[in-house]
Amino acid sequence: MDAVLRLELPTPYPVGTVNAWWLDGPEPVLIDTGVPTRANLEILEAALAVHGRSLGDVRRILLTHDHADHAGAASAVARRSGAPVHMHARGRLGPRWKPEEIQALARFLLRCGMPADVLAGAGEALRRDARYADADPVVPEPLWGGEILDSPLGPLTVLATPGHSHDHLSYLAIDAGLLFCGDTLLPYITPNPILHLDPDAGFRRVPSLLQHLESLRTLAALPVRRAHPGHGPDLLDVAGRVAHDLAFVQARQGVFLAAIRRGADTPWSLAQAVFGDQDPTGRFLAVSETVAYLDLLERDAGLDVRWEADPIRVGRT
């Protein structure tokens, strides 16, 4: 068996499958876990059994971030193995949204100009998504980034790479030149920096795209020969993929500016102009991404955003 085994697991999401990574040795490490379903655990066990391994052998569970396709099965694997779960201190096992967080999010989306009936549909979609939350979470061990953990690949450096999610971590096996980058860098898609209102800071919005761009620059500078992403095949040219994503963001800024010139003046109307109509989840993601770009356009393109207005107003200075 290779030192790193890719476990490709099905998810109920449009992204398709998710990758979990088994680092083999006397003290095996599992990075990410798939969704919290019985079927997922059976697939994991079957894939490991081929190599004479089982989930009971895991000595440490590491999570890149708390989205259900990555973190969902962490508690179940922890119970099966007795292994601790490590994740970012701000990440969360169990339900993604607390009631007060849903309220804060709803208020913010209405201020983005999202119509109330569209908001109701998006809320329903997010609630449906909640059935993939871990129903019985264990207490994870917190990481912040900067820690160095033991692993079968030698020292594993924990890197804070927020943006796609506020709690995103990547793991660098420096001796092997390998990077586990979760959803920060993906082979076929440019990750969506998802809207996050920080419950520890009065639900202040996190500038997710600005954070994501910083994280990409961090990854591009690392001495790695191969990156293992959260979805899809390995990346052999990390700096090249980062350059691709930076160019994508640059081009999309131009699309937003053109829509603003044509008259879109709230985050919702801008999202409609750029992404067109979407299903309920897609409408949330479109506004989420639009808001993330407003930070960048405000910083780099002289856009005037009146964040305190209701609805939030976007215009040229």
Q: What is the DSSP letter of 144?
A: -
Nearer to Zn ion, 122 or 270 (CB): 122
Buried b (16+ CB within 10 A) or exposed e, 41-63: bebbeebbeeeebebebbbbbbb
Nearer to Zn ion, 24 or 167 (CB): 167
On the 0-12 / 13-18 / 19+ scale of CB atoms within 10 A, 185 is buried
Is the N-terminal amide bond of 311 cis, ω within 30° of 0?
Answer: yes
Question: Could you tell me the smallest distance in angstroms from the CB atom of residue 188 to Zn ion?
Answer: 12
**Residues 253, 301: contact at Cβ < 8 Å?**
yes
Q: In residues, how long is the chain?
A: 317
Nearer to Zn ion, 207 or 230 (CB): 230
Question: Could you tell me the smallest distance in angstroms from the CB atom of residue 230 to Zn ion?
Answer: 4
Question: Could you tell me the smallest distance in angstroms from the CB atom of residue 66 to Zn ion?
Answer: 9
Q: Which residue is nearest to Zn ion (CB)?
A: 67
Nearer to Zn ion, 208 or 269 (CB): 208
Helix or strand run (H / E) with residue 298: helix 280-300
Question: Could you tell me the smallest distance in angstroms from the CB atom of residue 187 to Zn ion?
Answer: 12
Chain centre distance of CA 156: 20
Nearer to Zn ion, 229 or 267 (CB): 229
Question: Could you tell me the smallest distance in angstroms from the CB atom of residue 69 to Zn ion?
Answer: 5
Helix or strand run (H / E) with residue 29: strand 29-31
Nearer to Zn ion, 68 or 312 (CB): 68
Question: Could you tell me the smallest distance in angstroms from the CB atom of residue 8 to Zn ion?
Answer: 13
Binding site for Zn ion (CB under 5 A): 67, 183, 230
Distance CA 103, CA 52 (A): 48
